[in-house]
Structure 1
C-alpha cells in the first residue's frame, strides 16, 4: 500500500515572554504563528466508504488541530508557570485576558513539542503524525518530526 502525507496549515496569534532570557524576548510580545501539520497514512480503498481515496478528511484534521491548538492558543499569552511571570499572568487573567500557564519555557521549540503531543493523542489509529512546522516569524521556525522522536 502507498503511504501518503497530507498537510493542513493554520494561523493564530499568540503572545509570550521568555523568563530569564538575555534578549528582547524576555519582554511580553506576540507572533502571528503559522503551523503546518503533516500526517501520514494509506488512502482509503473501500468503495463503500464516503471518504474513498482520502488518507484523512482535511476537515477532520482541521477539527482536531483547532480544538487542541488553535482555539486554546489564539489570542492567548503563554507563560512558563514556574517563573515570576505568574504574578503578571494572574493580574492579566483577572482583567479578562486569556492566559496559558505552560509546564515549559514557551519557545517555539517547546510549543511544537506540546502541539505534537496534543495532536497525536487525537488522531485515528491508522493515521500517524509525520511532522509539524511552527513558524514564529517570516524567517524563523521550529520543526518536529516523528522519525526524530521514535
Structure 2
C-alpha cells in the first residue's frame, strides 16, 4: 500500500522574550502561533479495524499534540532558563501566570525542534513525523523536515 501524509493544524498564543537580542524581540511580547503537523504512514488496510483507511485518526493526533504542545504553551510565557529576565519569570509565576523555562533561546527555529522531539516520542511505531511548520507572524515561519535531520 502507498504511504500518505496527513496534516493537522493547531493554534495557540504564547509570549516570549529573546535575551541578548539586539532588536525589539528582546522585550516580552507574544504571537498567535499556528502549527502544522504532518505525519507519514500507510492507511490501515485491515477491514476489521475501526480506523480502516486512516493513517492516524485526526482526533488521536489532536489529543497528542494538544497534550504535548498546545495545552502547555497556550497563553504561557517562554523564557530561556538562563535569561536575565529570570526575576520577571519568577514574579509572573508567583502571581499565578504560566511560565515555561526552556534550555534554549525561544525562537521559532528552536521551538519547532523541541516540538518535533515531543511529537516523535508519542507517535506509534508504524508512523513517522514527516514535517512541522510553525508560523510566528502572518509572514514568518520555521519549518522542520525529518528528511533534513
What's the TM-score, normalizing by structure 2?
0.99
- Structure 1, unmatched stretches of 5+, are none
Task: Determine the C-alpha separation between the residues in 2 that align with 1:64 and 1:120.
Answer: 10
Partner of 1:92: 92
Task: Determine the C-alpha separation between the residues in 2 that align with 1:26 and 1:122.
Answer: 33
Task: Determine the C-alpha separation between the residues in 1 that align with 2:85 and 2:143.
Answer: 27
Report the CA distance between 1:84 and its aligned residue: 1.1
Partner of 2:50: 50
Task: Determine the C-alpha separation between the residues in 2 that align with 1:77 and 1:136.
Answer: 14
Partner of 2:129: 129
- Structure 2, unmatched stretches of 5+, are none
Report the CA distance between 1:86 and its aligned residue: 1.0
Q: Deviation above 6 Å: which 4+ runs of structure 1?
A: none
Partner of 2:141: 141
- Root-mean-square deviation over aligned CA pairs: 0.4
Taking the TM superposition and a 5 Å limit, the aligned residue runs for 1:1-150 are 1-149=1-149
SS at match of 2:22: coil
Task: Determine the C-alpha separation between the residues in 1 that align with 2:42 and 2:94.
Answer: 48
Task: Determine the C-alpha separation between the residues in 2 that align with 1:54 and 1:147.
Answer: 23
For residues 61-95 of structure 1, the C-alpha deviation after alignment (integer angstroms, 9 at most, x for no partner) is 00000000000000000000012111110011001
Report the CA distance between 1:135 and its aligned residue: 0.1
Report the CA distance between 1:55 and its aligned residue: 0.4
What's the TM-score, normalizing by structure 1?
0.99
